[in-house]
Structure 1
Amino acid sequence: MPELPSDPTARRALLIEAFADGPLCGNGAAVVELQEAASPEWMQALAGSLKQSETAFLWLNPRQQWCIRWFTPTCEVPLCGHATLAATLALQHWNLVPVGDELRLASRSGGLAVRVDPQVTGAASLVLPSEPLIHEQAPSYLRQVLDSDVLGYWRSNLGYRVVLVDSALILRELRGVSERLEGADRQGLVVMQAGSSAELFGQTCDYQLRFFAPGLGIEEDPVTGSAHALVAPWWADALGKSTLHGWQPSARCGGMRCELQEGYRVRLSGLGHVLWSGSVATGPPGHVPGDWSVCSQD
């Protein structure tokens, strides 16, 4: 068979299963390396074709800072934990960052500190901002959707809603949630409960959660770093711990270690597995010189 002609506009790409102990679990994220900033329309179109819950785009700006943006198949999101973990491991896979050194990625949500673990193969960490949970009255329909008593309900400035359910609910067996969510819950609902039999980094997990966001084009996100960063301070206060292990019993389960930092920030540590490595050939990507300015390291 003759070889296909090469495309000079092709860009390196990986698919990494993040917050996973091994292949075929965790949360898949595509990572695409750009030569410079690209138009949002082109990035959105490529994310729609790759069909991962998030696709991360990386490029060096004129200041030689790595910039990152994230797109679901239908929209851009301001922050994404698992795709940032995947991007960190991708930079290491491409030998673009030294193992063990902390790097600060510039994003539309500010600077994000990331690091490849020098002691655990395939592990990396990132620091995400958290937000206080603001208590509210739970919508009455949730009791029927979740088939559980609702022990607490909160909103956050991140846009996610959080609901605490009784431990009697078998969280991994919860079905048909996304299509029945209403109102603001559709933009991101974290369903969490105390305890888990899962182990991570040699520790039994302290809590577990699932995350549904049909309003973002994601029926269910398998393992969600931003959700764990959001609820980790609440669990730390409830359990009297500064380091916790959280599990996400989705169909592609996974989890992470959460360490509280100063300034209402959380360091998330997890494992990633490279599922495929190659390139994407889409033709000219519609570069927008100067578009790097939408990213910040502050």
Structure 2
Amino acid sequence: MSTRPALLVEAFTDEPLQGNGAAVVWLDQPATATWMQRLAGSFKQSETAFLHREATGGWQLRWFTPSCEVPLCGHATLAATLALAHWGCLQPGDTIPLASRSGALQVGLDGQRPGAAHLTLPSAGLEPLPVPQALETLLGQRIEHYWGSSLGYRVALLQPTAPLATLACPSAGLEGQDRMGLVLMQPLPNEGPALMGAPCDYQLRFFAPGLGIEEDSVTGSAHALVAPWWMEQLQRNQVRGWQPSERHGGMLCEAAGPGWVRLTGAAQLLWDGQINSSGAGCDPDDWQRAVRL
């Protein structure tokens, strides 16, 4: 029986059994998309990350939800970074690129905080759109601003007094593009949750039933998308974002050049082992199409 290393990391949290879980699998050759999709369905995490080392020494990365492949995933990239460290392939202070469908993502271990890592994600701009009345009715809350993005996510800003943390999950009633990713966000008061030595500035929740995710716990790609807007509002080059999901967590977001945001967060290793990789096959052509430098 052929086996490969695999582990499960709970990302963007410094507390056990919180944050967003992601499985990470180290492949010895480019597996077929069909096998990776079936394995992601078996893991039943919001995302499963697959790492493959090229002959040149570089790494390729792909992400699958239980129902489809996605072009970007922050928490599974953080999980993959800490998996590489756990497997002895990345040392504290090192920064390396991971080739992905969203380009070469720079990742590294935080030299000051054991168990923490950083990753740089692309941040597509927010495009103002008319507020959909049907969404306001579904949420039972007033939407102050509503945006689209080239990432495909829609973003809605709620009033500071809206009960975002306790709002009932709206996924069953979402329509159209909102089903492919809806960010609900609001500012936090100064006494909000603390993260890395300071209070968080905003909080959000993320729903994507069209991707097979009723609600995501702590969503790196969503924070990378909205953090530049919060930086502009607060006139700062870094902000702290919180996600008050049932499995809560957060991250430090910093400007990393035009169109890029650097996220720093902690993570917890839940389990470490081997999987049966029989049937994985080998499809280098598919990996070349899916992963671009």
Q: What is the TM-score normalised by the length of structure 2?
A: 0.97
* 1:229 lines up with 2:237 in the alignment: no
The match for 1:190 among 183, 192, 195 is 183
Moved over 4 A (4+): none
8 A Cα contact 2:188 2:200, kept in partner: yes
Shift of 1:261: 1.4
- 1:18 Cα deviation from its structure 2 partner: 0.2
Looking at structure 2, the residues matched to 287 and 129 of structure 1 have their Cα atoms a distance apart, in angstroms, of 29
Distance 1:34 1:233 in 2: 35
What SS class does the counterpart of residue 141 from structure 1 fall into? helix
Find the counterpart in structure 1 of residue 278 from structure 2: 283
Alignment-derived partner of residue 120 in structure 2: 127
- Structure 2 counterpart of 1:3: none
Is it true that 1:296 corresponds to 2:292 in the alignment? Answer: yes
Aligned to 2:19: 26
Q: Which amino acid aligns with 2:158?
A: V
TM-superposed CA distance for 1:172, in Å, is 1.0
Moved more, 58-67 or 17-26: 58-67
Q: CA deviation at 1:290?
A: 4.3
Q: CA RMSD in A?
A: 1.0
- 2:200 and 2:253 map into 1 onto residues whose CA distance is 11
Alpha-carbon separation, structure 2, partners of 1:101 and 1:136 = 41
Partner AA of 2:214 in structure 1: E
Q: Is the 8 A contact 1:56 1:68 kept in 2?
A: yes
Hey, what does 1:174 align to over in structure 2? 167
Partner of 2:259: 264
Q: Note if contact 2:122-2:260 (Cα within 8 Å) is conserved in structure 1.
A: yes
State the partner residue of 1:250: 245
Q: How far did 1:89 drift?
A: 0.1
In the alignment, which of 236, 258, 263 is matched to residue 241 of structure 1?
236
Letter of the aligned partner of 2:140 in structure 1? D
Q: Which runs of 5+ in 1 are unaligned?
A: 1-6
Cα distance in 1 between the residues matched to 2:56 and 2:114: 30
AA partner of residue 7 (structure 2): L
| 1:44-83 aligned within 5 A | 44-83=37-76
1:37–1:61 contact (8 Å) kept in structure 2: no
1:253-283 Cα shifts (integer Å, max 9, x gaps): 0000000111210000000100000011141
Q: Distance in 2 between matches of 1:265 and 1:219?
A: 27
Distance 1:291 1:146 in 2: 41
Measured after TM superposition, the shift of residue 144 of structure 1 is: 2.0
Aligned counterpart, 1:95: 88
Match of 2:34 in 1: 41
**For each residue in 1:179-208, what CA deviation from the matched residue of structure 2 results, as whole angstroms up to 9, or x when unmatched?**
111111000000000115111001100000
Counterparts of 2:38 and 2:88, CA distance in 1? 28
Q: Which runs of 5+ in 2 are unaligned?
A: none
Contact 2:102/2:122 (CA < 8 Å) preserved in 1?
Answer: no
Letter in structure 2 aligned against 1:26: G
Aligned-pair identity (%): 55
Instruction: Give the letter for the 1:257 counterpart.
Output: L
Alignment coverage as a number of residue pairs: 290
Greater mean alpha carbon deviation, residues 95-104 or residues 202-211: 95-104
Displacement, 1:284?
A: 3.2
Partner in structure 1 of residue 142 of structure 2: 149
